[in-house]
Amino acid sequence: MTGIRRNSNDITLFSGVDWITVILYLSLTILGFIAIFSATYVEDSENILSFEHKYIKHLFWLGISYTAALIILLLDRSMWHKWAYIICAGTIFIVLMTFIPGLGKTVNGAKAWLGFGGFTLQPMELAKVGISLATARIMSEYGYSVQKFGDVIKVLLLLLIPMGIAVLQNDTGSGLVFCSFLFMFYREGLDNWICVPIIFLAALLILSFLLSPGVLLITLIVIFTFSAGMLMRNRWKACIKYVAALLIISTLLFLALGFGFGFKFDYYDCLLYTTMASMVAVVVYAYRKNIRKLYFLVLLFFISVMCLPTSDMVFRHLKPHQQDRIRTFLGLEDNRDLLYNVNQSKIAIGSGGLTGKGFLEGSQIRYGFVPEKHTDFIFCTIGEEFGFVGAVVLFSLLCMLILRLMKMGDRQLEAFGRVYCYCVASILFFHCFINIGMTMGIVPVMGIPLPFISYGGSSLLGFSLLVFIAIALDASPIKRQSTLRKW
């Protein structure tokens, strides 16, 4: 095809808008309203249009969200980069207002809400927008690199602010959402030697509740020995012989101290101390052979070993209900009160069958067996009334939206838009995985709404802002002009 000349008059107000993403957004919000209406509808109500009904309140917030989305598309796209830090500071300030007596409101044990007459607002949902914009701004600065430790620390310190506030608000679930930014870091080129260990340490923390420290320590020794062997390839035999020799020497030393001076060590103490001695040996070996990556492996091993005795201390500092949820989820405790929610959720989803019982026909939902059926457990409403087909449709729409956001990030010409799109995709993925997972009993129960589906004006407005800012950045004039040049 020969070149086609286009002038600026060819570019309309909504040129470049990804209408597929807009259609996915509209489909999810409409499906969410249908589910909320079904979950909260009262048959003997005199006025179904009364503002006392939750579905009418949600419809009001739906109108606000649609209006905000339209305004975002009309605004200058460059303002999001220019005002990123100010927007972030403003949203964090609003979150801090929840600690002001008279303004802050406690809902379900979390003091994370602001009360205005008959309305409530959860500022942390808006803070996700500000934090995502500020993260994108930092990572788009000239010279920024995820390979530089200092640059990564800048973003981590930013993320620690909302996470710390969420802990103080007793709203740990909202704070954990920002852990999903690890996926964005990986997309930006964070070394696997950092991503994989973080996931490994998280798995180690979970296993520490199930296995004894001695078993975990032996497992760690085996894993890291083979890891060192794979890292050094042909030199792993020499390394193992070197470390084994020092292990024997250190073990004999501890035995001599035990028998000669009367020091008492149990088997775990001996294993721990000899392991520490072997770590010193590995460091010496790495220095002699100039194997830099082995230093990082030893550091990770040291952190892992330190996590073993501290995991119990961390567990003791959790709230009682959080401890109960972890014990129940891991099968360490049979708490019927906590299992009731999940069991009823499974019954509701399973009773839906292939095509469901029909709109407003869900018995588990209609008769109140499933708690929080319009908020955290709204997936049960769709599963029971629309069956497996309805659940697959919802799941497919959410997956397509997340994948679409990732595609939008990949085609950005500037780092700001790319990082922001992946921040939004990470947040949506975390919410969907945790919410749907807890209704099916594969993750612990926590207060995480299902994007665009769960009842709540704050979450609906927050997710709408997140998605439409990404759409606006994707439709920026710079990107459109570059696309036109290809013609």
Q: Identify the three-state secondary structure at position 111.
A: strand
One-letter amino acid identity for 7? N
- Note the pLDDT of residue 235: 57
Please report the DSSP string for 31-87 in residue order.
HHHHHHHHHH--TT-S-TT-TTSHHHHHHHHHHHHHHHHHHHHHS-TTHHHHTHHHH
- Note the pLDDT of residue 42: 73
Enclosing H/E stretch for 106: strand 104-107
- Note the pLDDT of residue 183: 87
Given the structure tokens 């975990």, which residue do they identify? 216
Note the Cα 70 to chain centre separation in Å: 27
Given the structure tokens 């770590």, which residue do they identify? 279
Cα–Cα distance for residue pair 133/78, rounded to 1 Å = 12
Given the structure tokens 């009731």, which residue do they identify? 340
Q: Identify the three-state secondary structure at position 463.
A: helix
Q: Identify the three-state secondary structure at position 114.
A: strand
For residues 73 and 16, the answer to whether their CB atoms sit within 8 Å is no
> In angstroms, what CA-CA distances link 295 with 69, 202, 287?
49, 21, 9
- Note the pLDDT of residue 128: 94
Full-prediction pTM beyond 0.85?
no
**Both structure tokens of 37:** 């209406």
Handedness of CA 8, 12, 13, 14 (dihedral sign): negative
- Note the pLDDT of residue 457: 86
- Note the pLDDT of residue 175: 83
Cα–Cα distance for residue pair 458/61, rounded to 1 Å = 8
Cα–Cα distance for residue pair 199/391, rounded to 1 Å = 29
Q: Digits of tens for pLDDT over the chain (487 positions)?
A: 333 334 444 445 667 788 999 999 999 999 999 999 888 887 766 677 776 778 888 899 999 999 999 999 988 888 899 999 999 999 999 999 888 887 888 877 778 888 776 678 889 999 999 999 999 999 998 888 887 778 888 888 899 899 888 888 888 788 888 888 888 888 888 766 566 666 665 666 666 665 655 566 666 666 666 555 555 555 556 555 555 655 555 555 555 555 544 444 454 555 555 555 555 555 555 555 555 555 555 665 666 665 555 555 555 556 666 666 666 665 556 566 666 777 788 888 888 888 888 887 877 777 777 777 788 888 888 988 898 999 999 999 999 999 999 999 988 888 899 999 999 999 999 999 988 988 887 777 777 889 999 988 889 999 999 999 999 998 865 554 443 333 3
Length of the chain: 487
User: Between vectors from CA 322 to CA 318 and to CA 326, what angle results, nearest 5°?
Assistant: 110
Other Cβ atoms less than 10 A from the Cβ of 348: the count is: 26
Cα–Cα distance for residue pair 320/340, rounded to 1 Å = 18
> In angstroms, what CA-CA distances link 470 with 71, 79, 129, 130, 181?
13, 13, 11, 13, 16
Cα–Cα distance for residue pair 226/219, rounded to 1 Å = 11
> In angstroms, what CA-CA distances link 141 with 135, 272, 292, 416?
10, 44, 29, 8
Cβ-proximal residues to 181 (8 Å cutoff; 6+ apart), any chain: 135, 155, 159, 423, 426
For residues 452 and 28, the answer to whether their CB atoms sit within 8 Å is yes
Cα–Cα distance for residue pair 385/38, rounded to 1 Å = 9
Q: Identify the three-state secondary structure at position 361.
A: coil
- Note the pLDDT of residue 2: 38
